[in-house]
Amino acid sequence: MAQCAAAAATSGDVNGDGKTKRKVAIITGITGQDGSYLAEFLLAKGMRRVILVFCNVLTVTRLNTEIDLGNAAHDDITIPYPTVQCVWQISFDLAEYTADVDGVGTLRLLDAVKTCGLTDTVRFYQASTSELYGKVQEIPQKETTPFYPRSPYGAAKLYAYWIVVNFREAYNLFAVNGILFNHESPRRGSNFVTRKISRSVAKIHLGQLQCFSLGNLDSKRDWGHAKDYVEAMWLMLQQEEPIDFVIATGEVHSVREFVEKAFKHVGKTIVWEGKNEEEVGRCQETGEIHVKVDPKYYRPTEVDFLQGDSSKALKIIGWKPRVTFEELVKEMVDADIELMRNNPNA
């Protein structure tokens, strides 16, 4: 999935009460969890107008308009905007499209800022990613860790990262990269492994499903909550100077552990049997197999371990995560139980 969210705001800072004085924000990738949470966050901060760009549609939402961003429902002004597209699924089969959206797409936005003569008034945030580190060269990964992307998506985001740096240095544009490690929520797309787990566990709990398949159970990630990470985006844009930051919890958990925590929340204990592609997760209480391993979910080039060091963000912008890993898993499972109970085919 593309992390194509970017925010650009007009000049101004914040009022003494913490409310923003910026008049307009533009957010791309609004159908994703980050875009929707960011829009809500900015409106709560006093942003007068938020322009939301998603799937060839440009939506303008005015202050105090009641919106349900979690369901991408907006009832204000909607205008066709054919030059902007979202990516719903990223894979090696979509490598060229990935490069165009996640790499060159960032260049188009930056070039538009320059062409319109807005380099002195716009503040630009680029949604960078821990996938830049790929085959990790250092543990934990921080701002100075060498990049080694292991997918077309990671390579495209590497171009986006460096084109932001280039425009910042060449045109004195306030442009920053937020190198965000994995962050999840009940709004996460169903094609992401965490949401696949929470939805499947919810279905099993409700008797709608017996078993589901995953890829590499031992892949380890630094997982946080999207709401916390959206706050970090905003904080980065409030600084006097543009600075790139790693945003992460500093904790690492495996896919296997996510599965175990999710099932534990619904009263099931998963025990693992077998090895490699023959491994299964069996419910200790009922004896039923609920998890299988399917090689089709393996990556062509695996990213095995990501762990971020956000000490720079803590020191300079005062950011730190609030939601724990266990709280995140519980929230996602509870939300999907409610969703599947009301709409089993969702």
Asked if 131 is an active-site residue, the reply is yes
Distance CA 137, CA 145 (A): 7
Helix axes 193-205, 255-265, angle to 10 degrees: 30
Helix axes 325-342, 255-265, angle to 10 degrees: 60
Catalytic residue among 129, 145, 194, 249: 129
Catalytic residue among 125, 131, 184, 231: 131
Is the peptide bond between 140 and the residue preceding it cis, with omega within 30 degrees of 0? yes
- In contact, 268 and 73? CB cutoff 8 Å: no
Catalytic residue among 153, 161, 184, 249: 153
Measured at the alpha carbon of residue 329, what is the angle toward residues 326 and 334, in degrees to the nearest 5? 125
Measured at the alpha carbon of residue 189, what is the angle toward residues 184 and 192, in degrees to the nearest 5? 70
Cross-strand partners of 177:
126
User: Can you list the positions of beta strands (E) in the chain?
Assistant: 6-9, 24-28, 49-54, 57-62, 77-80, 123-129, 174-180, 183-184, 212-214, 220-221, 224-225, 245-247, 253-254, 270-273, 280-283, 289-293
The length of the chain in residues reads: 346
With CA atoms as reference, report the closest residue to 160 among 171, 172, 147: 147
Which residues are tagged catalytic?
A: 129, 131, 153
